[in-house]
Amino acid sequence: MQANFPAEGQAGSDEIHEDLEKVFKVSEYLNFPFTLEEVANYFLPKTQLTGRQLQSLLSTRSFADIPFHIKDGYLLTGASQVNTSRLAREQMSVAKLESAAGFATVLKRMVPFIRTVAVTGSVAYGSADKWDDIDLFIVTKRNRLWLTAFMTLVFVRLTKLLGLRAPHLSLFCLSYVHDEQGFANESQRSRRNPLFARELLKAKPVAGADHYRRILEGSSWVRDIYSTSYAAKLRGLKVEIDGQGIERGESRFSFSLKWAECIAFNFLSRYLRIRAYLTNIKLRSQGEDFRVFEPKLSAVSCVYTSNFYEWLSGLWGE
C-alpha cells in the first residue's frame, strides 16, 4: 500500500531532504543511530510523517543520495554504526536520569524558589556516554535565579565531596537556568526556532513536572512546529499538585532577599565566567573544541552555549 504523505505545503520534499541530510551529519558525528519514529517526530519540523511513511519516503529515488541504512527501525549511517552501541548509551542515560531525579527531589525541598527542574542534552536524548554531563534545565521564581544557582552549586559540591553518588552520576551542570521572566523572554525570542522547540520537548522533568507542563501549555507555538510530539508529550506528563505554599512568609524578608540576590549575581556571575575560561582552556588542550562553551549570564538567565549547540543552531536554528 502506498503511504499517504502530508501535503507538500506543510514541508516540501526539498525541505525534508535537507533536514534528513542534517540528521545524517549529527548521527554520524555522535555515532548514535536514531529511530525512524524519532526522526519523524523530532527532526522534521512542520511535517506529520509517521516512521512508516518516512521509511517509504527514503526508499524513493529522490532520497536515494542520503546513505542511510534502515535496520530494525533504526537509521544507520554506515556499516560500523550498530544499534547495540545505542542500547548501552540508553542504559547509561537512564542511570544518569535516575540520579538527577533523586538530586532534584532533594534540591527542590531545600531551595524554595525552584519552579521546575528538567534534564536536557545527551541524557534527555538517551545518547549519554559515561562521563557526559547531566545538563539541568531549571526555572526559578522571578528574581530568585542567582540565590537558587548559588544553593544548587553548593549542593552539587557537597554531593561530590560526600560521595553520595558514583562520580559519573554526579556530573550535574547548570547549563540552562532562568527565572520565570528570563524563560518568558527566551521563549518569545525563540518561538520560530525548531531547535529550541525540540530541546523543550525532549527535556525530562525530574521535579516540578506540573510547572513544566504549564510551560508547554503556554508555548503553543511549539505545536505548530512539532504537532505530533507536542501532543504526545502533554499526554505523557502526569498532573500533580505543585505546592505554591513555598512562598509563605517570604514577603517579610523580600528586602533582604533582593539584596542577597544582587550579591549572589555579582559574585557568582564573575566566578562562573572565570571557571568557564579555565575549563575551556582545558577542553581546547584536549582537542574537544565542540565542548567549548560560552556563558551567557544576566540578572534573569544563566545559560551555557557550547560549540556543539551552536553547530546544531546552524543546522536547525531560525
- Mean pLDDT for 299-314 is 96
pLDDT the model gives residue 53: 94
116 phi, psi to nearest 5 deg: -150, 150
List Cα–Cα distances, 179 to 24, 28, 106, 146, 188, in angstroms: 36, 36, 20, 9, 14
Q: Choose among 74, 308, 92, 50: nearest CA to 199.
A: 308
Question: How many Cβ atoms are within 10 Å of 48's Cβ, its own excluded?
Answer: 16
Give me the helix-helix angle, 194-202 and 209-217, nearest 10°.
Answer: 150
pLDDT the model gives residue 79: 78
Proportion of the chain above pLDDT 90, given as a percent: 83
pLDDT the model gives residue 174: 95
Proportion of the chain above pLDDT 70, given as a percent: 91
Which residue did the predictor score with more confidence, 192 or 82?
192
SS3 252: helix
Is the separation of the CB atoms in 111 and 105 below 8 Å?
A: no
For residues 58 and 68, give the distance between their C-alpha atoms in angstroms, rounded to a whole number. Answer: 8
Residue 174, C-beta contacts closer than 8 angstroms, at least 6 positions apart: 136, 138, 149, 152, 153, 302, 304
**Could you tell me the pLDDT band of residue 318, with boundaries at 50, 70 and 90?**
low
Residue 23, C-beta contacts closer than 8 angstroms, at least 6 positions apart: 34, 39, 43, 75
SS3 296: strand
The lowest-confidence range among 14-28, 152-166, 203-217, 230-244 is: 230-244
SS3 82: coil
263 phi, psi to nearest 5 deg: -65, -45
Does position 309 have pLDDT exceeding 60, yes or no?
Answer: yes
Which residue pairs, CB below 8 angstroms and at least 24 apart, start in 190-193?
A: 190/318, 191/219, 191/221, 192/221, 192/225, 192/318, 193/316, 193/317, 193/318
pLDDT the model gives residue 13: 87
The pLDDT tens digits for 91-123 are: 999 999 999 999 999 999 999 999 999 999 999
Residue 7 grid coordinates: 501535503
Does position 225 have pLDDT exceeding 80, yes or no?
Answer: yes
